[in-house]
Structure 1
Amino acid sequence: MIKLRLAIVGLACLIAYSSYGQSGQYSNPAAPVGNPVLTVPSSVVPVMDQWMRDTYVMTGPDGYYYMTGTTATPGRSFPGGRVHCWDYNDGLYLWRSKDLQQWEPMGLIWSFDRDAAKWQQKGKPLEPGAMSPNKDRLDSFYRAVWAPELHYISSKNKWLLVACMNGGAGSFVLESVSGKPEGPYKNIKGNKQQAIFPNIDLSLFEDNKGQVYLIGHNHFIARMKDDLSDVAEPFRKLIETPYNPDPYIEGVFITKHNDRYQLLQTVWSVKKADGTFSYLRNDKNRQDSLYSYDVVVAEADNIYGPYGPRYAAILQGGHNNVFKDKNGQWWSTIFFNPRGIMGTKFTVTCRPGLVPVKWVDGKLRPDPERAASFYATLKSN
């Protein structure tokens, strides 16, 4: 009888273990590098000549599309004409468009010198001799704002900006005091004195019931108060089906499709000794081993999870967001990351771009036919 009970328990554990997906309770780490169906189409090029990382685009309620991203202070360059924002920039910029092709600059909408709280202005001293990934010597302190996102909260008729600071200073949320996307913006109560979230890459999601959530780097979530002044609960970890072990993950974003929550994350692939590629990294500190900057997706019925196994969705398109245009078609952003071996194929890097995407059998992937049509029109204008 004891042996029978043990056998039944063992069978139940095996069924539970296998029900998670590809490899039990873990996501399959194989990276499909070279798969043309999942790779950003070659027709995709920058939509404007503006140095930018972490491109973010959303569809506004006023008929405009709005773009923001990590930018460099205008006119600040380094040997060889290189530009970067690793140590310092002056704030947040915004652009708008009626057609996703012609973009109108709206200027500096949040400035460190004009709008920042004391903790945001303070910055952090650099270690002596610090260098950027471009091998340029950095300034004496960190004070840059990265990865901004603009969100219109339809249930509250409010515009919010979320962004993060470099140097480990954390993330924050801003609210437009004019009720317009161009601001001016002020810190919400929850981050007037300190960061609302202690890490980088903060994102935001509004559910169809009007509940607003902050999504934090790289696996955290907290619901906001109804008045959007602060978080209503402590940040908690999302319930996920991780890789084993989980590598460094960034660029977290949540959207909804077919009434299911879609968790988008960015993972670097690396080449293994046998010539295959994996999202598992044994040498996290070696930049020369990075291969492709990829978007992976997992889905769940509840925003907190559990999220099912991750799958590769957009190769080379990492740290993106996805949005629907005015016609209901889906798009993803890109910034042509120069890092990684596959990034070296881009003739121009750190520029904003758009990738038409589609859902096939419930999974996200690039749409090469729409991409070819969109960029053919862009080149002719």
Structure 2
Amino acid sequence: MRLRKRLRFVPIVLFLSFCVCKAQTNRNPKFSDPKAPVGDPELTVPGSVKPILDVWMRDAYVTHGPDGYYYLTGTTATPGRKFPGQVHCWDYNDGLYLWRSADLENWEAMGRIWSFDEDAADWQKKGKPMKPGTQSVNGDPLDSMYRAVWAPELHYIESQQKWLLIACLNGNQGSFVLESTSGKPEGPYRNIPGNAQKAIFRNIDLSVFEDTDGKVYLIGHNHYIARMKDDLSDIAESFRPFDETPYPKEPYIEGVWLDKHHGKYQLLQTVWSVPLADGTYTYLPGEKPAAVHSYDVVVAEADHIYGPYGPRYPAILQGGHNNLFQDGDGNWWSTTFFNPRGVMGTKFPVTCRPAVVPVKWDNNRLKPDVEASDDFYSTLNK
């Protein structure tokens, strides 16, 4: 009798197990959905957003320091350098610059905080000598050097009460980590021992993440992570790839940022949308070079820092290579810089200027906060 009662429940248990497995499969597909929702006003950088500073800049980065100030840096062209063509930073600049603000509206220039000529190690100074008059990628004649520093990030490591400055070099010369010797965000800065002789990471767009337990990680370009030593002098392990849910065919991805929200790790990456013949858009690379459309932020979430990260979802259209930060009231913001490349870039009245975008977590998914953006920019510099 007891055996019969047990057997009655077997089909039910098997059915429930099947449903659970099917639900888990649906929640964790093999690939992320590559559809790009171009034109969705709820996900697009609001039209009210405008530059917060009239300085040529890409890869704009803002952090809220422990002193209450907001600090801004980014990839800049050398101030005052004359270009017969388009101003840019691809081939040459002279270092890293910093601005600060008490309110995100009014910005004070703090000058150059790291210089190739004065602060760089020998391996960082080298660059690639070029014949005077050689044409750059934008058609401008170069001086004599192919040497630029890109994508700086300024991080206050709370557990160590230390400022780190992260950046990378053009010409495939890698990324590096600097530490402030004064304990101040303006430096001066020196290389940490881990990259005193060579790049600590062999690609571009390095980032840093401090976890809630005080452990610090370097986030490498598009897909890599390595924990740092407790004293931040070097990496404690080799870089390894995140466990991700990729697209069916991975495109070029850059501008990686790692953060935490509702107790889960948020992996932000930047992907170009590409138009399809039917009028829709995708994040998949085309079989042949296609005109890119917009520079979009996608997000994936994980319970553990190394992953697995779930499916990516589009979060901030036209707002790529960004970072997130919180203001003094706990509100979330993202940076943007009006990328001139792509179809959308031709519609911006001004490009390569830093801006900030209020964002929010809607059901724990990141998106622009259109109402907060309209409110902030309605009073900016009035």
Letter in 2 for 1:219: H
Superposition pairs for residues 308-319 of structure 1, below 5 Å? 308-319=310-321
Instruction: Work out the CA distance in 2 between the residues paired with 1:338 and 1:139.
Output: 24
**Residues 310, 151 of structure 1: alpha-carbon distance in 2 compared, 3 angstrom cutoff:** same
Equivalent residues in 2 for 1:314-325, closer than 5 Å: 314-325=316-327
1:46-91 superposed Cα distances (whole Å, 9 cap, x missing partner): 00100000000000000100000000101123224x2110011000
Indicate if the aligned counterparts of 2:319 and 2:336 stay in contact, CA closer than 8 A: yes
Is the CA contact (8 Å cut-off) linking 1:20 and 1:241 kept in structure 2?
no
1:37 is matched with which residue: 42, 50, 53?
42
Matched, 1:96 2:104: no
User: Is residue 72 of structure 1 aligned with residue 80 of structure 2?
Assistant: no
On the 8 A contact 2:105/2:381 being kept in 1, the answer is: no
Q: CA deviation at 1:16?
A: 8.9
CA contact (8 A) 1:173 1:196 kept: yes
Aligned-residue offset at 1:19: 3.7
Does the alignment pair 1:209 with 2:216? no
Map Cα deviations across residues 10-49 of structure 1 (whole Å, 9 max, x no partner): x89x84983454xx30000000000000000000000010
User: Using the alignment, how far apart are the partners of 2:321 and 2:66 within structure 1?
Assistant: 24
One-letter amino acid of the counterpart of residue 246, structure 2: P
What CA deviation, in whole Å up to 9, does each residue of 1:356-376 have, x standing for no partner?
000001100001111111111
1:318 to partner: Cα distance: 0.2
Instruction: Report the alpha carbon displacement of residue 141 of structure 1 after superposing the two structures with TM.
Output: 3.6
CA distance in 2, matches of 1:98, 1:379: 13
Q: Which of 166, 169, 181 is matched with 1:165 structurally?
A: 169
1:152 to 134, 145, 156: 156
User: Which residue matches 1:48?
Assistant: 53
- Supply the distance in 2 between the matched residues of 1:137 and 1:311 (Cα, whole angstroms): 41
- Residue 222 of structure 1 deviates from its aligned partner by 0.2
Give how far 1:206 is off: 0.2
Mapping of 1:57-206 within 5 angstroms? 57-80=62-85, 82-125=86-129, 131-132=136-137, 134-206=138-210
**Which one of 226, 229, 233 corresponds to residue 225 of structure 1?**
229
Task: Tell me what 1:376 maps to.
Answer: 378
Displacement of 1:130: 5.4
Give, in angstroms, the shift of residue 94 of structure 1: 0.5
CA contact (8 A) 1:77 1:84 kept: no
The answer on whether the counterparts of 2:60 and 2:73 sit within 8 Å (CA) in structure 1 is: yes
1:265-299: per-residue Cα shift (whole Å, max 9, x none)? 00000001111100011257x4x611010000001
Structure 1: stretches of 5+ with no match in the other structure: 1-7
Secondary structure of 1:378's match? Answer: coil
C-alpha deviation, 1:139, in angstroms:
4.9
CA deviation map 1:140-164 (0-9, x unaligned)? 5421100000000000010000110
- The AA in structure 1 aligned to 2:374 is A
Separation in structure 2 between the aligned mates of residue 199 and residue 105 of structure 1, nearest angstrom: 29
Cα gap change, 1:273 to 1:177, in 2 (>3 Å): same
Which portions of structure 1, spanning 4 or more consecutive aligned residues, are displaced by more than 6 angstroms?
none
Which structure 2 residue ranges, 5 or more long, are not aligned? 1-14
Structure 1 residues 137 and 268, CA gap change in structure 2 (3 angstroms)? farther
CA deviation digits over 1:286-329, x for unaligned, max 9? 4x611010000001011100000000000000000011101100
- Find the aligned partners of 1:262 and 1:191 in 2 and give their Cα distance: 27
8 Å CA contact 1:334–1:355 kept in 2: the answer is yes
Letter of the 1:363 partner, please give it: R
2:73 and 2:158 map into 1 onto residues whose CA distance is 19
1:270 aligns with 2:277: no
Write the distance in 2 (CA, Å) between the matches of 1:336 and 1:72.
16
SS of 1:373's equivalent? helix
Q: TM (normalized to structure 2)?
A: 0.92
Identical columns (%): 68
Q: Secondary structure at the match of 2:219?
A: strand
Please tell me the residue identity of whatever aligns with 1:257.
Answer: H
Structure (1 or 2) with the larger CA radius of gyration: 2
CA distance in 2, matches of 1:18, 1:112: 51
Distance 1:237 1:126, change over 3 A: farther
Contact 1:109/1:185 (<8 A) preserved: yes
State the alpha-carbon separation in 2 of the partners of residues 124 and 268 from structure 1.
29
Q: Is the 8 A contact 1:17 1:25 kept in 2?
A: no
Structure 1 residues 125, 25: closer, same or farther in 2, change over 3 A?
farther
Matches of 1:335 and 1:140, distance apart in 2: 28
How many pairs align? 365
